[in-house]
Structure 1
Amino acid sequence: MDRGLNEAQLERTARIFNVQKYNVHDGPGIRTIIFFKGCPLRCKWCSNPEGLKYEHQVMLKRNACINCGACVPVCPKNIHYMENSEHKVRRDIKCINCKRCEKACLQNAIEVRGEDKKITELIEIVNEDKDFYRMSGGGLTVGGGECTAQAESLISLLESAHIEGINTAIETCGYTDIEKLKKIKEHVDLFLFDIKQMDPIKHKELTGVNNELILNNLKYLLENGSRVRIRMPILKGVNDSFEEIQEVVNFLEPYRFFKNFEGIDILPYHRYGVGKYDQLDMVYPMEGGFSLSEEDLDNIENWIRSENIDVNLVRH
């Protein structure tokens, strides 16, 4: 497993918050997804709020907690406390990931998210399903959070996967330093690259950052031979108008017939991650009706297809 890796790579760790096996939505074939912690964006509809911060975080399922207080005395940082007989979590103190609170909770109401795993450990997990990758044309996908935020760990993981003969893909918002991206691209077989909004002002309102760096990085990848499939999160009344879809199509027009441009995935808005916000004492910022009807989605799919661009509606 470690052939070709130097000592630093063997000892390098990545901070992750989930591993998902047998995925068929994020890259070709059957894939294992490793979710890296930390993200420079703050998309208002994010379904993985536990992946936004790099720090370890305590998640509390209040509907399972019986307010017994067993977690309070075991926490060395005094993160857990009781107030009026109710269990609460201090969010201004950094968790050190000792997991004593998690172990003390007999109701499984506490989960500490964020594990530091050696690259070699992660490749062992990925290798467990090598036969499935071989039969289906699948492999490893790295997501997040934003995986490029841990660039060195990402490169080591992708390089290790290639050494094992495993196909690699990454899900990325594209907001990363170009020099880091150049190093990362050497070990990526497919970029699943988000376009959330073309208008820079709206993009900043929705995600917290301008999109100039993102679009420049996308151009770089397309113009330098990297295989790219665009992913478009679509929210009703936010970025689903004909004009907004056409802006994306116009941006991609010069690359329409590039062999390395593999089309567009439409990702309809969903609310699967809403419950996790409460577990982190966060407010979900997208209250309201942002789901699209089947007719809406069919229209968007047809608009894009009419421009001779391959398009796929991803249904989770």
Structure 2
Amino acid sequence: MPTVGLVFDILKFAIHDGPGIRTTVFLKGCPLNCLWCHNPESKDGRVEISYLPAKCVGCGACVAACPRGCHRLADGMHIYDRTACERCGACAVGCYARAIEQVGRLREVGEVLAEVLRDRPFYETSGGGMTISGGEPLAQFGFTRELLARAKAEGLHTALDTSGFAPQARYAELLPLVDLFLYDIKTTDPARHLELTCQPLDLIHANLRFLSDSGARLFLRCPLVPGVNDSDAELAGIAALANDLAGVEEIDVEPYHPLGVSKAGRMGYAEGYSAPIPPTAYAQDLTTKIAALTTKVVRRS
């Protein structure tokens, strides 16, 4: 039986997910619940329904399509009852205005790989390849492992974007299949990490050290949010962590953006952390401060 995974997006011509031009495969499911998550549609490991009222034209196609009566029109307003929804996606199929969309689709490894391979010429000329992201790709370990193995068999450069929150044995199994780990570090303070992500930091640090000691290539990806995890002490902690690990080659500073707020609303979630987009100078200042504390390459993503 073919291996399938729940994929919510495949991004072509990605230039921020590893070297060169890449195709990034986004998988659903994540064990963390980060305060500022910019991909809230990735958290739940199941199919979900996104609804954007601004696109609704009130045609009633979803009302006719839904087998459980979750959609209705009243006084010119579209009302969607998520409590009865079984996420079958029938409403999304019928919505020609695309106000309703299904987030997540089961796809076979071979089908996804075929889509990735279409851009092989761009990978070869730019030094790019395939990146698997999420969510947390190791939450769908079997799919991730097979997709990486088959991509490597095709000679592709592979990168894995990970939160680090997964059993160490899974990282050990993937070591021969991953050319570059893009490793998320939200903070180096254990208490703060638990507060911001709802998960402890010790497993993440242990896996990071394991990968470094095992000879893996690592880029630290550091999402920095104004007034949340961007203090001088936080920046010093990131630099110190990188300095202590031979496998860490680069620190990528990822300044906050509020894209996750509107997406959370479409998914029916309570809107999370929201703040103004920081100016360009803000990200450059953080990059400069970290660079002064380490010999590693520091870049603004």
Would you say the 8 A contact 1:23–1:33 is kept in 2? yes
Residues 152-209 of structure 1 show CA distances to partners (whole Å, capped at 9, x for unaligned) of 1100000010011111001111100111121122211100001001111211111111
Match of 1:168 among 141, 151, 158: 158
Match of 1:193 among 177, 183, 196: 183
Please state how far the C-alpha of 1:83 moved relative to its aligned partner: 5.3
* Structure 2 unaligned residues grouped into runs of 5+: none
Aligned residues: 300
Aligned residues: percent identity?
34
Q: Does 1:298 align with 2:298?
A: no
Please state how far the C-alpha of 1:94 moved relative to its aligned partner: 5.3
State the alpha-carbon separation in 2 of the partners of residues 94 and 218 from structure 1: 40
State the alpha-carbon separation in 2 of the partners of residues 126 and 168 from structure 1: 11
Match of 1:128 among 118, 125, 130: 118
Please state how far the C-alpha of 1:84 moved relative to its aligned partner: 5.5
Would you say the 8 A contact 1:196–1:232 is kept in 2? yes
Any idea what SS the aligned residue of 1:191 has?
strand
State the alpha-carbon separation in 1 of the partners of residues 17 and 132 from structure 2: 9
Residues 12-68 of structure 1 show CA distances to partners (whole Å, capped at 9, x for unaligned) of 001010010001111000000000011111111111111110111111110011333
Residues 131-170 of structure 1 show CA distances to partners (whole Å, capped at 9, x for unaligned) of 1101110000011111111011100000010011111001
Any idea what SS the aligned residue of 2:29 has?
coil
Would you say the 8 A contact 2:264–2:272 is kept in 1? no
Cα distance 1:83–1:178, how it changes in 2: closer, same or farther (>3 A)? farther
Cα distance 1:134–1:271, how it changes in 2: closer, same or farther (>3 A)? same
Q: Does 1:60 align with 2:51?
A: yes
**Counterpart amino acid of residue 14 in structure 1:** G
State the alpha-carbon separation in 2 of the partners of residues 78 and 198 from structure 1: 48
**Counterpart amino acid of residue 42 in structure 1:** N
Once the two structures are superposed, the pairs formed by residues 123-272 of structure 1 within 5 Å of their partners are 123-255=113-245, 258=246, 260-272=247-259
Q: Does 1:13 align with 2:8?
A: no
State the alpha-carbon separation in 1 of the partners of residues 23 and 297 from structure 2: 25
Would you say the 8 A contact 1:56–1:94 is kept in 2? no
In structure 2, the residue matched to 1:3 is none
Cα distance 1:107–1:296, how it changes in 2: closer, same or farther (>3 A)? closer
Would you say the 8 A contact 1:14–1:116 is kept in 2? yes
TM-score (norm 1): 0.90
Cα distance 1:185–1:79, how it changes in 2: closer, same or farther (>3 A)? farther
**Counterpart amino acid of residue 139 in structure 2:** A
State the alpha-carbon separation in 1 of the partners of residues 211 and 275 from structure 2: 36
Would you say the 8 A contact 2:243–2:296 is kept in 1? no
Cα distance 1:226–1:207, how it changes in 2: closer, same or farther (>3 A)? same
Would you say the 8 A contact 1:175–1:213 is kept in 2? yes
In structure 2, the residue matched to 1:277 is 264
**Counterpart amino acid of residue 70 in structure 2:** I
In structure 2, the residue matched to 1:115 is 105
The structure carrying a bigger helix percent of its residues is 2
State which drifts further: 67-76 or 153-162: 67-76
Match of 1:23 among 5, 9, 14: 14
